[in-house]
Structures are given as structure tokens and as C-alpha cells.
Amino acid sequence: MPSKKSFSWDALPRPIIALAPMSGYTDSPFRQLVKEICPSVVCFTEFTNIEGLLHANAGSLRQISFHSEKERPIIAQLFGNKPERFKKAAEALTAIGVDAIDLNMGCPARKVVSADHGSALLKNCALSQEIIKATIEGAPLPVSVKMRIGTTKYDPDYFFKFAKSVEDCGAKLITIHGRTAKQMYTGEADWEPIYELKKILKIPVIGNGDIRSGSDAVNKIKNLDGIMVGRATFGNPWIFAEIKAAFDGKKFKPLSLKEKLPTILRHLDLSCEFKGEKWGILEMRKHLAWYIRGIPHASEFRRKLVNVNSKDEAVAILSTLLRQVSEE
């Protein structure tokens, strides 16, 4: 096991700025990129199925693999529903050398919920408690929970009871996405329940949902310990520099495509290094499309970028786009 200083949520400087776990997006290359832009960001891995991890499934191992120096502290997120398996998974993650373990109790995806994982656990306080305790038993690492404000509706009594039980079981942090599972990603995240919860918990609380700018982060944090950003990072990992600047009372100047290009190329390199060029470039297609979102007359370039098959091809398309943008 790599030797490292033990990590503690309590010792992290406030406000905590976190990259949300996002399946299919927040892989090691993306996390490294975020850390290069804003080193103080705390990164969560994509959620990883405990069975996949315990059976050493290649995809699961890749989801929790990380650069041992550049991504610290790295928080590995797990999902599943069998306490004794969480204990084993926690032992495995300790051996791998992650800094902390987060338990997914918020995913609303049908495939996940129908297997009684993710947000299905929100309905089962007793099982969730067992899972938290078993994970703590399996790892000398801080264990946290990420959840939503409810399953089908927001019921304050139940929400507070559930979250308090998370704390009582020994979790060291809780992240709340201000939507119910039923809402999926519709409507607006409601942060009021999160502020109320913070008043009754002793452990740190991170708020999540709909942060799209530095001013959103500053306006939404209120009494919380930190904020977590998800979808607004698509094509915009610089949002973390914007948020950091906003918390520090500094101005942030939005970047031009020319200024962004070296980072986009860096992302390409990291992805191809981590996954090999063939697969790395396939994974980059969606990111490339996001990077050029909002650029006028770029639809023809987007069509090309979502079909690229090599790094050289991607670089050539981006260079042509940059020339066109500079000439306009």
C-alpha cells in the first residue's frame, strides 16, 4: 500500500469544492485535468459496483484506478446493497490506497434502483445503517454518504431521521443532492432542506445541485461546508477556477477557445495515455463536443468531432476550428 498521510474531512480547508462522481465522465483523465486547473478540488470516482470490484472486473477496477500522486485526496464511490460485501470492498479499497470511501445512496437510474442499489437504499434506513457500519469495519478510512432529499417526495421528518442515522453510524461526511430520486434531473435542486440538515448534524455537509458558475457557488453555500459540481463541468473544467476565484473574492476572466485549446489537448493526451488511443479517443468524443458548445457556427465541427477516430484527426479539426474562430 502506498504510504500517505491519512485523510480527514474535518481537516480540509473550507469551503470544500468537490467534483461530483459522474459515471462515464469523471474518470482518471478528467479528474487529473480538474486537479491541474484547480489543485484544491476534491475528486470522487465514478460509482463502482462492489461486486465488480470484488470480482476484479476490468471495468470496475478502471473506474476506481487513479494517479497515485496527482489526484489526492481521492474518494472512491461504491454502490451495492450487501453489507458483508461492502466490508470486503472497503478492505480492497484500503489495499488499493484510496483516501476515503463514499457510499452511493442517491442514484435514481432504473437499472440501479431495480437492483435495490443507489437511491433504493434511501427507503431502507436499517439496511443503509448496516452498510455504513460494515464499510467502516472494513476500512480505517473516512466513510461518507451521498444521497438525495427523498425518494418520491421530500418528507422533512424522514430526511432528517435518515441523515442523522448516517451520522450516528459513524459516517464522516454527507453530500446531499437537493432533488428527490423521482425528479431524476428535472426541476430545480432545492437547497433549503440541506441548510436545515446542516443545523442538526455535527459532521460536515456538502450541497449539490445546479451550480453553474462561481456566483452560484458563493450564493448557495450559506452554512454548508462545501459545494459539489457535476454537469456544469462538462466541457468546462475551468468552472473550478471560476468557483475558487469567486470564493477568494477575485475576478475570473472567461477563456477564449485559443486559451482553452492546450487544456483540451492535454485532456486528449491523458485519455489516450490512460485508455490507449483507440478507446481513449472514443471516450473523448463526448467531451470534445462539450468543449465547443456555444461556439457560433460550430455544428459542422461538432459532427466531425463526435466521429473522430484518432488523436491527430481531433487535433486537426480543433486547429481548423480555432483558425475559423480567430478569423471571424
Ligand X SMILES: Cc1cc2nc3c(=O)[nH]c(=O)nc-3n(C[C@H](O)[C@H](O)[C@H](O)COP(=O)(O)O)c2cc1C
- Active-site amino acid positions: 107
Is 209 among the residues that bind ligand X (CB under 6 A)? yes
Is the peptide bond between 15 and the residue preceding it cis, with omega within 30 degrees of 0?
A: yes
Q: How many CB atoms lie within 10 A of CB 2?
A: 7
Nearest Cα residue to 245 out of 254, 232, 233, 258: 254
Is 28 among the residues that bind ligand X (CB under 6 A)? no
Is 107 among the residues that bind ligand X (CB under 6 A)? yes
Considering only 9, 30, 47, 159, the residue that binds ligand X (CB under 6 A) is: 47
Nearest Cα residue to 79 out of 53, 102, 122, 49: 49
CB of 75 to ligand X, least distance (A): 11
Residue 79 or 301 with smaller CB distance to ligand X: 79
Is 16 among the residues that bind ligand X (CB under 6 A)? no
Stretch that binds ligand X, among 21-29, 86-94, 136-144, 257-265 (CB under 6 A): 21-29
SS3 1: coil
Considering only 230, 235, 237, 280, the residue that binds ligand X (CB under 6 A) is: 230
Q: Are 90 and 141 in contact, with CB atoms under 8 Å apart?
A: yes
Is 104 among the residues that bind ligand X (CB under 6 A)? yes
Is 30 among the residues that bind ligand X (CB under 6 A)? no
Is 244 among the residues that bind ligand X (CB under 6 A)? no
Residue 32 or 175 with smaller CB distance to ligand X: 175
Beta strand 205-208 with 173-180: parallel, antiparallel or unpaired?
parallel
Give the separation between CA 117 and CA 113, rounded to whole angstroms.
5
Identify the bridge partners of residue 104 per DSSP, sorted by sequence position: 146
Positions touching ligand X (CB under 6 A) are 20-25, 46-47, 77, 104, 106-107, 146, 177, 208-211, 229-232
